């Protein structure tokens, strides 16, 4: 369990400037999402469980001119999640954007050789962590005039793609039972949140950044993290006529 530590985020009154929280933002797609949001003039909170890496990422992005701050956050630890929500409330009074980016993957095994423990480990971050963070941040998001929630998913979570032998994604799925099914669950969670929050004007979407070179895949992807972050930022800053309850890539909607 993570013991709450003193945050370096200064306490300030609520301001009209938008505030965004990006989980798992000390590296990869999360950091590039934070970079792009900060470039738009949004105050960005980098949520990371590793304090040293989180602070280093925030310092790097501040050097680019953005208002970027580190918030200690382990999405698998509800004490840490609640403490992060309390810090954000004390400093800003609300939250405008939540990007649930933190995710992990497990070793590659055939589905028939994958133990249940491997799924539990991945689901703790990719599924239960998203629910814990969203639940804790919703009271703050409801104070925003135009709140947005973006869940970082994958085309590997598309059951339609996995069921199609002709799909290029189906070959990857044969060895990624925990990761693929966690993203399928995340897609369903996205739809259910979107249905509930639609009347409140809170838009909730899942995005697929594509196969990007990150630590998750040992940097084997052909796309850059910056390219993967683009669709997340687009939906995080969508207008009131933006979509909700969808799974999208930069090329448009992806079938469930």
pLDDT tens track of the chain, all 256 residues?
444 343 344 334 445 799 999 999 999 999 999 999 999 999 999 999 999 999 999 999 999 999 999 999 999 999 999 999 999 999 999 999 999 999 998 878 899 999 999 999 999 999 999 999 999 999 999 999 999 999 999 989 999 988 888 887 777 666 689 999 999 999 999 999 999 999 999 999 999 986 555 655 555 555 677 788 899 999 999 999 999 999 999 889 999 9
Domain boundaries, the chain: 19-103+129-154+184-211+222-253
Q: Which residue has the tokens 């990422």?
A: 57
Per the residue annotation, which of 18, 27, 31, 183 is the catalytic one?
A: 183
The number of residues in the chain equals 256
- Give me the pLDDT at residue 221, please: 56
Please state the φ and ψ torsions of residue 208, each to the nearest 5 degrees: -110, 115
172 has catalytic annotation: no
Per the residue annotation, which of 123, 179, 193, 211 is the catalytic one?
A: 179
pLDDT tens digits, residue range 194-232?
999 999 999 999 999 865 556 555 555 556 777 888 999
As a three-state string, the secondary structure of the chain is CCCCCCCCCCCCCCCCCCEEEEECCCCHHHHHHHHHHHHCCCEEEEEECCHHHHHHHHHHHHHCCCCEEEEECCCCCHHHHHHHHHHHHHHHCCCCEEEECCCCCCCCECHHHCCHHHHHHHHHHHHHHHHHHHHHHHHHHCCCCCCEEEEECCHHHCHHHHHCCCCCCHHHHCCEHHHHHHHHHHHHHHHHHHHHHHHHCCEEEEECCCCECCHHHCCCCCECHHHHHHHHHHHHCCCCCCCCCCEEECCEECCC
19-103+129-154+184-211+222-253 in CATH: which number?
Answer: 3.40.50.720
183 has catalytic annotation: yes
- Give me the pLDDT at residue 216, please: 57
Q: How far apart are CA 233 and CA 62, in angstroms?
A: 18
């Amino acid at each position: 369990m993570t013991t709450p530590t003193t945050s370096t985020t200064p306490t300030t009154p609520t301001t009209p400037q938008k505030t965004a929280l990006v989980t798992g933002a000390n590296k990869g797609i999360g950091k590039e999402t934070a970079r792009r949001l900060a470039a738009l003039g949004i105050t960005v909170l980098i949520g990371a469980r590793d304090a040293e890496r989180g602070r280093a990422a925030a310092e790097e992005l501040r050097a680019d001119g953005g208002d970027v701050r580190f918030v200690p956050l382990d999405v698998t630890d509800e004490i840490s999640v609640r403490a992060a929500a309390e810090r954000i409330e004390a400093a800003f009074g609300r939250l405008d954007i939540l990007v649930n980016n933190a995710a992990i993957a497990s070793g590659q095994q055939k589905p028939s050789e994958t133990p249940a423990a491997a799924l539990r480990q991945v689901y703790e971050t990719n599924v239960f962590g998203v629910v814990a963070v969203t639940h804790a941040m919703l009271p703050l998001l409801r104070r925003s005039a135009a709140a947005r929630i973006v869940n970082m998913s994958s085309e590997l979570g598309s059951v339609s793609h996995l069921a199609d032998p002709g799909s290029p994604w189906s070959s990857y799925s044969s060895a990624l039972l925990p990761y693929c099914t966690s993203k399928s669950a995340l897609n369903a969670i996205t739809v259910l949140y979107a249905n509930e929050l639609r009347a409140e004007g809170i838009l909730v979407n899942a995005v697929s950044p594509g196969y990007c070179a990150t630590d998750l895949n040992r940097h084997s992807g052909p796309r850059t993290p910056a390219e993967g972050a683009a669709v997340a930022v687009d939906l995080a800053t969508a207008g009131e006529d933006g979509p909700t309850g969808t799974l999208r890539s930069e090329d448009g909607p992806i079938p469930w």
